[in-house]
Each structure stands twice: as C-alpha cells, then as structure tokens.
Amino acid sequence: MAMLWSAVPASGKLRLRDDPMRYSFLTLARQAMARHERWQRAWRDPTPKPSYDVVIVGGGGHGLATAYYLAKLHGVSNVAVFEKGWLGGGNTGRNTTIVRSNYLLEPNALFYEHSLKLWEGLSRELNYNVMFSQRGVLNLAHSDAQMDAYARRGNAMRLNGIDAELLSRDEVREMVPDLDFSARARYPIYGGLLQKRGGTARHDAVAWGYARAADRLGVDIIQNCEVTGFHRNGNRIEAVETTRGAFRAGKVGVAVAGNSSRVMALAGLKLPIESHVLQAAVSEPVKPCLDTVVTSGAAHVYVSQSDKGELVFGGDLDFYASYAQRGNLPAVKQFCDALLALFPRFSKLRLMRTWGGIMDMSIDGSPIISKTPIYNLYLNGGWCYGGFKATPGSGWVFAHTIAQDRPHALNEAFSLDRFELGRTIDEKGAGPVPNAH
C-alpha cells in the first residue's frame, strides 16, 4: 500500500497514512483496469473555516509552495490559500518556464541555487511530475566586454558552489548550430556562459503538484475568493475580508506577484514596487531543433522549445506601468525581430499566440521576502523576471519566515527595510529604476 506523509500540528511532526491514490505506474495500471473511472480529485474544494492559523493570499506557485512547506516542515496545517481566480491563473501560468541560478551577487546566487536544488527533487517530493528538464541555460556574449562580464559572473558562481562554463564561439556553434555565425550577423557571437543544471519546467504542473501535496497535508485551498480588505486592530491583522466573507487569521502571508502593491495597499502599506507588463509568445509546433535555453541580453530575447515543439520566447517589458495581463504589438515585434536576428531560419514559422503577465518590479531588481511593519503580515513579492524559477525556494523560506517570525539566512538580505537602510541588491547595476532591471 502506498503511503503519504501528513501533518500533526500539535507535535510539529509528520506521520504516515494510507494513500491509495499515490501516483505511480501501479496506480495508473489499476485505473486503466477500471477504465479510469475511479480517479479521485487532485485536491478538495472545501468550505472555508471561520479562522485559520495562517492565511496565504495568492494561489500561484509561491503561495501554494508556502502553504505546503508550512504544513510539511513546520507542522502548521490549519492554513488557507485564498485565490481570486483559479490556481495558477496569474503569473505562474503566464511565464516562459525558465529555471536557473546563474547570478553574480551572493544573496541572489545562494537563494536561487537553493531553489534549483529543490527543483531537482521536486517531482519525487510532490509525487507529481513537474516536467523539470535540465537542458541547460546559455547566455550569449556579443562582444569582448560581455565575455569579460560573463567570466566574472562565472567565477563568482563557482565560488558560491554553482556550476558555470565559459564557452568559446566554436563551442557555442557546436551546441546551437542554428544561430547566425555569419560575418553579417546583427549580433556577432563571441561565446557564452552556460549553466548545464538550468532548464525548464511545466508551469501548471508546478501549481497543481503543490496544490495536491498541500491539500493532502490538510491545507484548505479556496478558489474564486478575492481578498478585498483587512481588519486591523492597531498594528495587527485580525481578519481577512474576501468576496466570500471575513475570516480570522493568526498570520497573513501575501504572495500575489504583480498585484502586490494593490493588496498591500488594502493594509495601508505602500511598497517600493511598480507593476509592468511582460509579454511572451509561442510559434507553431515544429520538430525538435533547439535542445537548450538560449538568452541574449544584448538582443533582449530568450527562447526554448517546448515538449510540444513550440518555440517559447519573449523579451523586455512594455515599459509602462500597468496591471493588465496584455500588452502592445511593438514589444512583440521587437522580440520577434531579435529572435530572427539570432536564428534567421525561424523566419518562416507562424506566430501562434502571445500573452502578457504582470511583473512586480522592485526598485533594485531583487525580491522582497520579509516581515512588514504590521506585526503579523508578511510579504513575498518584487520578483521582477525571477518569480517562476524561485517557486520552491521562495515557498521554502517564506514558510520559515512566517512560522518562525524571522527570516531564514537565505532571505535575510531580501528584507523590506533594505531600501531605507541603503542595502539594495542591484544585480544589474541599473540604479533605483524599477523597469530598468
């Protein structure tokens, strides 16, 4: 009989209980014999309880991961996740699924490397295939100066125990022969920085896997439940007001990505965050032609190929503040032009669809995973372009911060007060301009 870990809040420990629906080959075979008519719901649709020890606002990857780790690692299972729409309907389902930890500055490097290590065992951890593919992430260099910068970053990564390889032009050509290596190339290729352990994952599978695992540990996942306000008593949140009523909460964690400023404003807090539109696109499906992730900072484009054969690609922000999940055609044209400058042979492919997500751009380009000036209110936001790849690590440290009421060493630098104290983490060196990071 397959088994499942479940939470025992009183002791803070976990125990095993029978789980006949643990996903496995044997379960699949049994269901096939039953004509697949006996599958259970992946997670419940519970009636909300009047009060919870912890309420998580936001049912994307970060919120669901936080709820899961609260229950699994900290014995806190009286948890509700309030999601205004459906699970993973925000940025979790609107990104280009790239996972990497190739950062220069130590706070970012150590945090994202921890997240990458969690990714490497996540399918087994959740008993759900998140389709994590370590196909590598290649950053192209288009000048001697970029090669020097990548050498510096690669050395910093290695000093932090992270894999990195500096590739020559010929090594890049051998790895991605379809790039334009001609003398007329708009973006001449000098080499690149490769992180072999990076790659991609399936975005909706990540949300569903965390939802299923959290539900089995006793977490209530409440969909179609928008948070509309907070009941404050002095410097404390006593209840969360939603479209389905008010619910008392011992602690509240907010993980709503591009809507961070709007939700935190309901509690009377103003954040050092701007929300901007970031668009992406997919081509029609083709046979396998790209087995790694290729990015170009100079061209402002990145591309990979999905398991269905589509080219998944995107570029820079639309550069105007917005809460809309849609953008404008000039930005799409820009990253299509950039993609074709790097890969001329893709010019005959048809564009199948485009979409936009709301990026919560912090002042220094690094996330905020922190306590707030309100005693029992915690914030997970400011992710800029890095939200999806941070999903496991973000939930892991945010759960620790909420349960222990203090940050973990991995997110201590990502405090909300760092901007006031002058301790910014400016990975790009772009200064205090949110849409420049």
How far is residue 369's CA from residue 407's CA, in Å, rounded to a whole number?
8
Residue 12's identity, in one-letter code, is G
> Would you place residue 19 in the very low, low, confident or very high pLDDT band (cuts 50, 70, 90)?
low
| Rounded (5°) CA angle 381-383-385 | 160
- CATH T-level topology, domain 137-196+275-362: D-Amino Acid Oxidase; Chain A, domain 2 (3.30.9)
For residues 406, 412, 417, 422, the Cα torsion angle rounded to the nearest 10 degrees is: 160
Residue 5's closest CA among 23, 20, 19? 19
Q: Where are the domains of the chain?
A: 41-127+202-272+364-436, 137-196+275-362
Whole-number pLDDT of residue 212? 96
pLDDT in tens, 340-376: 999 999 999 999 999 999 999 999 999 999 999 999 9
Residue 265 CB contacts under 8 Å (≥ 6 apart), including other chains? none
How far is residue 181's CA from residue 175's CA, in Å, rounded to a whole number?
12
- Give the number of residues written for the chain: 437
CATH number for the domain formed by residue range(s) 41-127+202-272+364-436 = 3.50.50.60
For residues 199, 152, 391, 397, the Cα torsion angle rounded to the nearest 10 degrees is: 150
> Would you place residue 18 in the very low, low, confident or very high pLDDT band (cuts 50, 70, 90)?
very low
How far is residue 385's CA from residue 59's CA, in Å, rounded to a whole number?
19
Contact 339, 313 (CB under 8 A): yes
> Would you place residue 209 in the very low, low, confident or very high pLDDT band (cuts 50, 70, 90)?
very high
Residue 4's identity, in one-letter code, is L
How far is residue 350's CA from residue 311's CA, in Å, rounded to a whole number?
10
Place of tokens 């190739």: 102
- Same fold flag, 41-127+202-272+364-436 and 137-196+275-362: no
- Prediction pTM value: 0.94
* Mean residue pLDDT across the chain: 93
